[in-house]
Amino acid sequence: MDSRWMLISDRFSQPYVDGVNSFVEFAKVYLGEGREIKCPCINYCNFYKQEYDTMKVHLLISGMIVPYTTWLQNLRYSVSIRYSDATCEDMDSRWMLISDRFSQPYVDGVNSFVEFAKVYLGEGREIKCPCINYCNFYKQEYDTMKVHLLISGMIVPYTTWLEHGCKTSDTLLAFVIQMLHVKVENRWSNKSFDKVLGIQRRFLPEGHVVPRSIYECKKLLRDLGLGYELIDACKHDCVLFWKKNARLEKCPTCQASRYRVNNSKGKKIPHKILRYFPLTPRLRTLYISRKMAKDMRWHSDKRVDDGVGRHPADCKEWKEFDLHCLEFAYETHNVRLGLATDGFKPFGNMSTSYSMWPVILMPYNLPPWRCMKAPFFMMSLLIPGRNQLGTNIDVYLRPLIDELNKLWENGTMTYDASTKQTFQMHAAVIWTINDFPGYDALSGWRTKGYLACPPCNDNPLSHGLISKIGWVGYRAYLSDNHRRRKDKKSDGLIELRKKSLDLSVEKVMAQLDQLREVKFGKDPTNKKRPRESEELNWTKKSIM
């Protein structure tokens, strides 16, 4: 079938119109009339189904996706795949559309694809892997590529080459990532970014697949698992409209409306929206690069354990965790994470009351010169809020905690590019990093009043002064023979008390078991519940 009409830029020219008509008639003959088929226009990208007449209008107005390599399922079709400098004509690619990746037709298709690459590109080299996880972006050996295609599947449509006849071998994914990187670095607006793309499209040859807008760029990344999920929240921080609450229009706790109505357009706008960035795909990405995969095992393979603290793995908490979780510690690929959160005003104006709370995760497997660098800070949650969250932060942490539980219990299959082997990757949060108010929100121990000191717990060293609370017994934590214990300049007395910074887990859990059920949210109609003396300064049992 002649497909040259797909490359014609003038969609109102007679050759293009004739090509669309012949294409629609061809579909009717092979699939029958009176049904809907996937529309291959630029906007629908062979994903949404339309009737024949609607599809014809779309192709005339928007144009055909080029190259069009996802022709109808269960139909042998010709494919022209630009693979480096080689072109394969009339290659059966129906196997790419098979969902069962363990079926014999799919396995045969993968084998034929790999053999084709070996013939045209030669053996003993690495090529870009077109599986779903690597998306024709990272290079792998042939055997590794075969494993990825069998486990993850092929990206469909396999059309990630930037343009026909272009000398560069960059992929569409590489182009989009680099353009978005420039946009962020130079603080371009979405409007200016769309204009730049429009100018580039005008000067590129026919047949290019450069996106039209920022929306199409983000849509590509979202399909690759690099986007984020929008989750509506109650305006009083009671619940998330997620999972079992996803279809509700009122909060099940305070009955507040989920939406505020825009009177001018009548559009429903959520009061609060949580942005959730899935963690698993980004942890798997750390093992895609051979060099990065080696660094992820640095804490076990290259760290010198001589008692000097150079890395978090040298501290006693890390080592104690390994003793308690031997199975987790045995697999050096498993990821140890640190969690940090704090509120900030995003617009740089301290006079505004609006604030946001990002939740950041850091992989501590990396060597010390990389683990605390900005490129490896993984934002997991972006929590909106006008006021400080306090105990209600647990409501917003629920998606992250569910994913961490899955990573801890089940793990996820991951490929290590340095060892060329797959493994079951698990992850664990071993500590949190925050200031004192942030500690209050995450732990549930209220950091105000006479019991503000967490290690002191129910035996504080605080004293009431004229207008504030004073902590004058800090010398009780010093060693027995410390010279400051006999120094009377602090409070006029010699310090004889002895206290430890260690707080037993059993004591904390016994106190938390006495807590009554906590009702999250800041519903103005709710009265503040009276606190019991045995609750001490605990406000909740943390979701952590």
DSSP one-letter string for 446-474: --SSTT--TTTTTS--EEE-SSSEEE--G
Amino acid (1-letter code) at residue 363: P
Residue 384 has pLDDT above 60, yes or no: yes
Asked if residues 291 and 236 have their Cβ atoms less than 8 Å apart, the reply is: no
The per-residue pLDDT of the chain, averaged, comes to 81
| Listed residue (286, 275, 177, 273) closest to 228, CA to CA | 275
**Separation of alpha carbons 535 and 514, rounded Å:** 7
- Output 115 or 366, whichever has higher pLDDT: 366
Residue 118 has pLDDT above 80, yes or no: no
Can you give the pLDDT at residue 110? 84
Can you give the pLDDT at residue 223? 64
Residue 276 has pLDDT above 90, yes or no: yes
Give the pLDDT band (50/70/90) at residue 149: confident
**Separation of alpha carbons 471 and 474, rounded Å:** 7
Mean predicted confidence (pLDDT) in 275-280? 93
Residue 86 has pLDDT above 60, yes or no: no
| Listed residue (265, 179, 280) closest to 229, CA to CA | 280
**Separation of alpha carbons 402 and 229, rounded Å:** 14
Mean predicted confidence (pLDDT) in 95-123? 75
Two structure tokens written together for 44: 């629908």
Residue 173 has pLDDT above 60, yes or no: yes
Give the pLDDT band (50/70/90) at residue 66: low
Give the pLDDT band (50/70/90) at residue 67: very low
- Output 354 or 325, whichever has higher pLDDT: 325
User: pLDDT per residue over 262-272, tens digit each?
Assistant: 666 677 889 99
User: pLDDT per residue over 361-375, tens digit each?
Assistant: 999 999 999 988 888
For a pLDDT cut of 90, what percent of the chain falls above it?
24
- Output 160 or 477, whichever has higher pLDDT: 477
Q: How far is CA 204 from CA 67, 111, 305, 312, in A?
A: 15, 35, 56, 51
Residue 534 has pLDDT above 50, yes or no: yes
Give the pLDDT band (50/70/90) at residue 351: low
**Separation of alpha carbons 441 and 436, rounded Å:** 9
Residue 146 has pLDDT above 50, yes or no: yes
Q: How far is CA 176 from CA 204, 222, 315, in A?
A: 15, 12, 42
Which SS3 state, helix, strand or coil, does residue 491 take?
coil
Mean predicted confidence (pLDDT) in 49-67? 80
